[in-house]
Amino acid sequence: MGRNPETCSKECFDATEKAVAANADGAAAVVIEPLIQGASGMRPAPEGFLALLRRLATEYDLLLIADEVATGFGRTGTMFACEREDVAPDLMALAKGISGGYLPLAATAAAEKNLRGLSRPVRRIQNVLPRAYVHRQRARLRGGDRIATCVRGRTRARKPSTKDRTAENALRRLGDIPEVADVRQAGFMVGIELMDDPAADEPFPPERRIGHQVTLRAREHGAIIRPLGDVVILNPPLAISLDDIDDLVSITERAIREAVSTG
């Protein structure tokens, strides 16, 4: 299933180059959730994959759109996930981390050349002359065609830290659970995939709802986590303490052991 991104690098890279080349004439953009796909079960991309997409998008005159709704604002270790491969997208979708989840706030950041295109009038419809993103509040960020990071004053990009390493070390002990098929992590985005028999690539029967059962047991022990099918998701706040990281992983480990041993 290609759980280790290192094993699929050449295959994925070659297939991506062929797909972009074959479809470039009828395409407008390449869209990616950079570094790690959250909704698919926290699946990381091979190293260099984002940089490859940037090169291909430039070569074929396509927009590179980065969906940083989940990965932005320090979640993967840098302010934006694109920074991990020194990539500047043409458009960037932002939300969640802007307000820390306290407000339903979102934004679309655009390179200057693309911002001009979005501001041009389009066809008149019912006597109204709309513009693309007519609902927007426009904030022009300077710095050539690169997207400027909205960092001012004391705000700084979060770099991979002791907390990331603490989480990584704590998660290693989950490998002792036979039903843990894979643990995927990028900063504070973690996916723990559970299978009935990982060696045989055999999932749990759907009716057991193992991921859901894990979250119920974790709640009993004091942690609120969520599943994506049978992938248990950990997405702690960036302000979490080192002790709380260890407690979160310990509760998750206990909840997994309890859930897989019943039914």
Spell out where 149-217 has E strands.
180-186, 189-194
CA 238 from chain centre, in angstroms, equals 15
pLDDT score of 104 more than 90: no
* pLDDT tens digit sequence for 121-175: 555 545 444 455 555 555 444 433 344 444 443 344 455 578 888 899 999 999 9
Residue 252 falls inside a structural domain: yes
Cα separation, 97 vs 102, whole angstroms? 9
Residue 154 falls inside a structural domain: no
pLDDT for 131 equals 52
Q: Which two tokens stand for residue 124?
A: 């008149």
Residue 18 falls inside a structural domain: yes
Give the residue from 61, 93, 118 where a domain finishes.
Answer: 118
Sequence length of the chain is 263
CATH number at residue 212: 3.90.1150.10
pLDDT for 151 equals 45
How many CB atoms are located within 10 Å of the residue 164 CB?
18
Residue 146 falls inside a structural domain: no
Residue 153 falls inside a structural domain: no
pLDDT for 171 equals 94
46/111 same-domain check:
yes
Which domain does 214 fall in, by range? 162-260
43/111 same-domain check:
yes
Residue 157 falls inside a structural domain: no
Please state the domain count of the chain: 2
151 vs 38, which has greater pLDDT?
38
191/109 same-domain check:
no
pLDDT for 111 equals 80
16 vs 116, which has greater pLDDT?
16
